[in-house]
Amino acid sequence: MGAMNALISASDLAGELTGERPPVLLDVRWQLSTATANGEPFDGRTEYLAGHIPGAVFVDLDRELASAPGERGRHPLPDLGVFGAAMRRAGVSAGRPVVVYDGGLGWGAARAWWLLRWTGHPDVRVLDGGLPAWEGPLETSEPSPPEGDFQPVPAASGLLDADGAAALARSGVLLDARAGERYRGEVEPIDRVGGHIPGAVSAPTTENVGPDGRFRPAEELAARFKELGVAADTPVGVYCGSGVSGAHEVLALAVAGIPAALYVGSWSEWSSDPSRPVATGPDPQ
């Protein structure tokens, strides 16, 4: 999946929403920290109800795009029955395009994009820049779309487990999408131990976007990933802390025309098992 159908601009979305075949809109506002700038707990639904793109349905990342945290990480794959029901409730059907957006960081939207693509939806795009890029009206009422017909069917490829990630770090390129200081093991604010999967390459997902939160042009992204060792035929995988920002890097790779697999369990799963090796410092090792 290349650049042409992974992202959509706010102006193009505005046009499609008034066209003959408007996309289903999903609002996936989420953030890793539960506290907002004013100290109040962050709640995506509250943000959604305060104003969203007309027709958008709220999707709860923690409950509908992941299952409960545990041995498989902080955001394991959702139960496909739960995920499918949530998508149908939102009006998602196999024959209708879907556009997902979040509050601007892009991580929540990318997780929804990745899950829908991995489970077989043929036409999913992310609003580039998220809600801050939208210049049209907002609404506060919740829509009640007709039930969709989407039935998630996982792909045979595109998903890595811990062993697969470890092997790919040796046979291809495994990108670590977290901040560099977490990769190097200098800090670890969330998980049991700091560091990275041996052989993984540091590639913070924040470097895939510009100051406005929009993705860098496809050719710039392709050049960045080439510098990180990704050639045309290189098998590529991505992990992060819990499979959310990693999905954003898979999206950036898609914009550059590079298919990549996601290790959903990511560092939160890897580091929970003391028997798994941990590398620290700036080098992949």
**Closest to 108 measured CA to CA, from 169, 173, 56:** 56
Q: Is residue 223 part of a domain?
A: yes
Sign of CA dihedral 242, 244, 247, 249: negative
* Domain boundaries, position 108: 3-133
Considering the domain architecture, whether residues 7 and 129 belong to the same structural domain is answered as: yes
- Candidates 182, 178, 176; CA nearest to 198 is 176
End residue of a domain, out of 83, 118, 133: 133
pLDDT per position as a tens digit, 180-232: 999 999 998 888 899 999 999 999 999 999 999 999 999 999 999 999 999 87
Query: What is the residue-wise DSSP string for 163-193?
Result: HHHHHHHHHSEEEE-S-HHHHTTS--SSSSS
Evaluate whether residue 188 is within a structural domain: yes
Task: Over range 35-53, report the average pLDDT.
Answer: 79
Question: What is the band of 2 on the pLDDT scale with cuts at 50, 70, 90?
Answer: very low
d(CA 221, CA 228): 11
List the one residue out of 225, 236, 238, 227 whose CA is nearest residue 259: 236
Query: Are 89 and 171 found together in one domain?
Result: no
Domain count, the chain: 2
Q: Mean pLDDT lowest for which of 8-17, 29-38, 147-156?
A: 29-38
Q: Please indicate, yes or no, if residue 229 is contained in any of the structural domains.
A: yes
**Identity of the residue numbered 202:** S
Is the residue at 226 inside a domain?
yes
Question: DSSP string covering 15-51, please?
Answer: HHHTSSSPPEEEE----SSSB-TTSSBP-HHHHHHH-
Same domain flag for 70 and 107: yes
Which pLDDT tens digit goes with each residue over 53-91? 999 999 999 999 999 999 899 999 999 999 999 999 999
Is residue 222 included in any domain, yes or no? yes
**CATH number of the domain bearing residue 226:** 3.40.250.10
Q: What is the pLDDT of residue 38?
A: 60
Does the structure show a pLDDT above 80 at 242? yes
Residue 153: inside a domain, yes or no?
no
The pLDDT of residue 239: 98
Mean pLDDT of 16-32: 93
Residues designated catalytic? 240
Q: Give domain status of residue 140, yes or no.
A: no
